[in-house]
Amino acid sequence: MSKGDITYFHPGLRGTKSHQVTSGGTPPAINAGEPVQKTLGNQYVITAANGTPVVATNYWVGIAAGTPGSAGTSTETSTAAGNIEVADFLNGDVFLANPVTAATWATQALYNALVGARVTMQNSSQVFKINASDGSTNGLVIENLSLASYPGKVAFSIRAGAAYLA
Residue 146 inside a domain? The answer is yes
Q: How far is CA 109 from CA 112, 114, 129, 143, 146, in A?
A: 5, 9, 20, 14, 11
Residue 152 inside a domain? The answer is yes
Residue 12 inside a domain? The answer is no
Q: How far apart are CA 71 and CA 20, in angstroms?
A: 17
Residue 112: Cβ within 10 Å count? 14
pLDDT at 69: 44
**Residues 94-114: tens digit of each pLDDT:** 999 999 999 999 999 999 999
Residue 2 inside a domain? The answer is no
Q: How far apart are CA 40 and CA 136, in angstroms?
A: 21
pLDDT at 98: 95
Residue 4 inside a domain? The answer is no
Is the C-alpha dihedral spanning 125, 127, 129, 134 positive or negative?
A: positive
Residue of 57, 64, 49 whose CA lies nearest to 124: 49
To the nearest whole percent, how much of the chain has pLDDT over 70?
A: 88
Residue of 74, 79, 29 whose CA lies nearest to 49: 29
Residue 45 inside a domain? The answer is no
Q: How far apart are CA 124 and CA 66, in angstroms?
A: 21
For 122, the domain range is 95-159
**Residues 29-78: tens digit of each pLDDT:** 787 888 999 988 889 998 899 999 999 998 999 988 864 445 567 778 78
| Domain count within the chain | 1
pLDDT at 1: 39
To the nearest whole percent, how much of the chain has pLDDT over 90?
A: 51
Residue 150 inside a domain? The answer is yes
Residue 164 inside a domain? The answer is no
C-alpha 26, offset from chain centre: 21
